């Protein structure tokens, strides 16, 4: 008699939009790994549906809208009785973790971090302070090159880091998209390696020929405008990087694509300057494949960058910063150029744009990097193996994580009472 399929419950911060953000794409890659195992998946979220939401039902994934601060979730999860619960970002663990533990204590609790939000936020604050003190600065080497112990010092006093890392401790396994962030957590925050699993973006290395240099033109930048690092990069391009490129390539155009384009972004559209704000791309890979260079001048951020993985997939060399390249290549050759100032980024962009030989080599570097580091079959199998092993050894795994048990006890009690108070208050209204 066959065993029943493993039941998975995903509690999403938002409904996944794989064509709007790397986070949405990564969630779909996780779901695909589970589907390939024949697992029974339910995706739930308290969020409203976005305009680019993936059709989960068409994939055989059950969908369920849930409520914050409502005991209706208790009835739902108790009836579902999942074997594994995946929290999409730490805020969902804070909201629903105590309910999951109360109703399904033997379910494996997994956290999808997407990236370390506390690291991204700390870097953003550092950039703001830097610009406040040096408003005309265009060289950010000091921001791009701190050692991990300096990043730790930057983060350690923040409430966001305490919340996020506490959630990592409270879960049985946390999925980390960047091995650099694993190093930061294990070496400086002293998070046990047994609680972390490296699961980067999954991209099958292309085998077909790329669109060649001669058939491409212009520059492209892409990214969800709701993501603060992307908007900051657009402003830096508009004010500093792009004018330097246009001085030397007066006929060049920059096409900027992104979901949820706000009026402040469309106001930057200026064809006379070759600066084109294009809104959302129906087919991001198609427009990426037509561009000669992908620009990603990120001044802060965390995790690894979906736009750069897409550029490699399309054979489009990129120009980025150390923040953009962080955690993506290890020791492999970079598929483009990395620079730390507006003038250096412009120099790199112009040089690569005009050098067919260097451009073609960068293109092939991207293909090789995808093959060596982002193979879906390898990482998918390792994830499934890790989850199944942890389920088999769950009691011992949790005994060795006393800190997590202690944090669950204290936070979940306070969260439980607050949620119950809010629910009672809402009923009285």
| pLDDT in the model for residue 19 | 81
Which residues touch 164 (CB under 8 Å, ≥6 apart)?
Answer: 90, 113, 116, 117, 118
Identify the top-confidence range among 6-10, 113-117, 140-144, 329-333. 6-10
- Tell me how far apart the alpha carbons of residues 408 and 20 are, in angstroms, rounded to a whole number: 34
Could you tell me the pLDDT band of residue 18, with boundaries at 50, 70 and 90?
confident
Burial code (b: 16+ CB inside 10 Å, e: under 16) for 32-64 equals ebbbebebbbbbbbbeeebebbbebeeeebebe
- Tell me how far apart the alpha carbons of residues 201 and 191 are, in angstroms, rounded to a whole number: 22
| pLDDT in the model for residue 419 | 66
Domains identified in the chain and CATH numbers: 7-118+148-202+376-428 (3.40.50.2000), 213-373 (3.40.50.2000)
- Tell me how far apart the alpha carbons of residues 111 and 104 are, in angstroms, rounded to a whole number: 16
pLDDT tens per residue across span 25-43:
999 999 999 999 999 999 9
| pLDDT in the model for residue 279 | 83
For 201, counting Cβ atoms within 10 Å of its Cβ (0-12 exposed, 13-18 middle, 19+ buried), the class is buried
Which residues touch 10 (CB under 8 Å, ≥6 apart)?
Answer: 27, 31, 41, 42, 43, 44, 85, 86, 88
Could you tell me the pLDDT band of residue 410, with boundaries at 50, 70 and 90?
confident
Q: Do 193 and 156 contact (CB within 8 A), yes or no?
A: no
pLDDT tens per residue across span 295-313:
999 999 999 999 999 999 9
Could you tell me the pLDDT band of residue 232, with boundaries at 50, 70 and 90?
very high
Beta-bridged to residue 94, according to DSSP, are none
Q: Do 201 and 22 contact (CB within 8 A), yes or no?
A: yes
pLDDT at 289 over 80: yes
pLDDT at 387 over 90: yes
Residue with tokens 């900051």: 232
Q: What is the pTM of this model?
A: 0.92
Rg value, the chain, Cα = 22
The mean of the pLDDT values for the chain is 93
Q: Do 47 and 12 contact (CB within 8 A), yes or no?
A: yes
Which residues touch 344 (CB under 8 Å, ≥6 apart)?
Answer: 139
| pLDDT in the model for residue 3 | 76
| pLDDT in the model for residue 4 | 84
pLDDT at 388 over 60: yes
- Tell me how far apart the alpha carbons of residues 26 and 28 are, in angstroms, rounded to a whole number: 5
For 382, counting Cβ atoms within 10 Å of its Cβ (0-12 exposed, 13-18 middle, 19+ buried), the class is middle
Q: Do 109 and 97 contact (CB within 8 A), yes or no?
A: yes
């Amino acid at each position: 008699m066959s065993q029943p399929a493993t039941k998975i419950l995903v509690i999403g911060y938002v409904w996944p939009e794989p064509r709007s953000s790397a986070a949405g794409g990564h969630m779909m890659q996780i779901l695909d790994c589970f589907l390939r195992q024949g697992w029974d998946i339910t995706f739930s979220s308290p969020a409203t549906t976005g305009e680019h939401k993936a059709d989960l039902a068409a994939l055989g994934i059950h969908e369920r809208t849930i409520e914050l601060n409502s005991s209706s979730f208790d009835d739902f999860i108790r009836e579902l009785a999942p074997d594994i619960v995946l929290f999409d970002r730490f805020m969902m663990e804070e909201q629903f973790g105590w309910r999951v533990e109360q109703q399904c204590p033997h379910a494996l609790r997994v956290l999808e971090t997407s990236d370390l939000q506390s690291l991204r936020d700390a870097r953003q604050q550092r950039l703001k302070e830097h610009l406040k003190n040096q408003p005309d600065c265009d060289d950010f080497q000091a921001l791009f090159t701190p050692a991990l112990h300096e990043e730790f010092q930057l983060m350690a006093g923040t409430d966001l880091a305490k919340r996020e890392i506490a959630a990592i401790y409270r879960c049985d396994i946390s999925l980390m998209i960047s091995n650099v962030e694993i190093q930061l957590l294990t070496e400086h925050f002293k998070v046990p390696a047994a609680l972390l699993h490296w699961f980067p973006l999954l991209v099958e290395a292309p085998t077909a020929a790329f669109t060649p240099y001669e058939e491409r033109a212009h520059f492209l930048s892409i990214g969800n405008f709701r993501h603060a690092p992307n908007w900051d990069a657009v402003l830096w391009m508009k004010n500093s990087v792009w004018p330097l490129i246009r001085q030397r390539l007066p006929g060049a155009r920059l096409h900027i694509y992104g979901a949820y384009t706000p009026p402040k972004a469309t106001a930057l559209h200026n064809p006379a300057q070759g600066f084109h704000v294009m809104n959302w791309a129906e087919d991001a890979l198609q427009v990426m494949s037509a561009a000669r260079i992908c620009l990603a001048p990120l001044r802060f951020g965390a995790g690894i960058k979906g736009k750069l993985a897409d550029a490699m997939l399309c054979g489009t060399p990129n120009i980025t910063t150390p923040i953009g390249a962080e955690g993506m290549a290890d020791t492999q050759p970079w598929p483009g150029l990395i620079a730390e100032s507006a003038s250096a980024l412009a120099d790199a962009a112009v040089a690569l744009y005009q050098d067919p030989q260097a451009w073609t080599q960068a293109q092939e570097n991207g293909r090789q990097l995808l093959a060596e580091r982002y193979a879906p079959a390898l990482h998918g199998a390792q994830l499934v193996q890790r989850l199944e092993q942890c389920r088999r050894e769950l009691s011992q795994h949790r005994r060795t994580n006393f800190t997590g048990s202690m944090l669950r006890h204290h936070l979940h009690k306070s969260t439980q009472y607050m949620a119950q108070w809010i629910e009672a208050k809402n009923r009285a209204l």
